[in-house]
Amino acid sequence: AGYLELGKYNYLIPRDAEDFSLKVCAADFAVTYQYKEEKLLDAYLKKGDKAYDKNFAIRGEKIVGWFTDEALQNPFDFNTVINESITLYAKTEKSLVVSFTDAEGTDYGFENVEANGTVSRPSDPKKDGMTFVDWYSDTEGKNVFDFTAPITQDTTVYALFGYNVTFRVLGFDDAAQAAVVPVVGGGYLKEENIPTFGKITGYPDFTTIKLGWYTDATMKTPVEFGGDGVQINKPVTYVAAVLDND
């Protein structure tokens, strides 16, 4: 169970719970968890309760014990019954840290890792108008990060996103009958990268049909792919008219 602080009440919630009920009780004392000058948590307890051995995520630091004094000389016994407010001080050891970010410096979290250990793959991050591509060891997206490789030093892993290039065929209203191709900002979309008609419309058996792609639904300006393709620097939508291929 863990604490969620709201005023001076304890909300005891099992860590693995999907459905739960809340037990609310007035608190008598506070246990303050402290790391150097940073207060990590005030946990409020009833008289006679015991404190929890908390493990907080501290970047580059692993908590190895809790003490009742700032000098870290007196270890705290978590079997102790609490009858007054106390402050517990964290003792830590250096740990390797893997930081998750992107080229803009967005903080996607971190994980402390033992030397030669591996890091867990985090959930895919999201950005409006963009599609997450993968995690890379560089900002340019040249080297995909290997989550099975041992960590031997502090490491930064970068999320790479592509702008959403949406292809939609006029006359097909189903949202599933459109396709999105992510293109990394400044990259080029070539004509051979356009999704097939069947992927967009759901009718792959149509073989006598071709599509003419335009920059908007007015059908006035065709997309000029050229030899190098179209450079993409923002989310765009291209629309197509169905043309007779015969």
Cβ-proximal residues to 110 (8 Å cutoff; 6+ apart), any chain: 57, 59, 97, 98, 99, 100
Q: Is the pTM of this model over 0.75?
A: no
- In this prediction, residue 16 carries a pLDDT of 58
Q: With 70 as the cut, is the pLDDT of residue 208 above it?
A: no
Q: With 70 as the cut, is the pLDDT of residue 204 above it?
A: no
Cα distance between residue 155 and residue 152, in whole Å: 8
- In this prediction, residue 215 carries a pLDDT of 92
Which range, 157-161, 177-181, 197-201, 235-239, is most confident? 157-161
- In this prediction, residue 5 carries a pLDDT of 45
E strand segments, the chain: 2-3, 12-13, 29-35, 38-45, 61-67, 86-94, 96-102, 110-113, 130-136, 155-169, 178-184, 188-189, 209-214, 230-231, 236-244
DSSP string, 173-231: --TTSEEEEEEETT-EE-GGGSPPHHHHHS-TT--SEEEEEESSTT--SB---TTT-EE
Task: Dump pLDDT digits (tens) for 23-62.
Answer: 555 778 899 999 999 999 999 988 889 999 988 999 999 9
* More confident site: 243 or 104: 104
Which range, 23-32, 110-119, 194-203, is most confident? 110-119
Task: Dump pLDDT digits (tens) for 117-165.
Answer: 999 999 999 999 899 999 999 998 899 999 999 999 999 999 999 999 9
Task: Dump pLDDT digits (tens) for 68-106.
Answer: 999 999 999 999 998 999 999 999 999 999 999 999 999
Q: With 60 as the cut, is the pLDDT of residue 4 above it?
A: no
Cα distance between residue 130 and residue 237, in whole Å: 12
The whole-number average pLDDT for the span 11-33 is 67
- In this prediction, residue 206 carries a pLDDT of 60
Q: With 70 as the cut, is the pLDDT of residue 1 above it?
A: no
C-alpha distances in angstroms, 180 versus 56, 63, 114, 183, 211?
Answer: 40, 45, 39, 10, 16
The whole-number average pLDDT for the span 229-243 is 87
Contact by Cβ (8 Å): 64, 91: yes
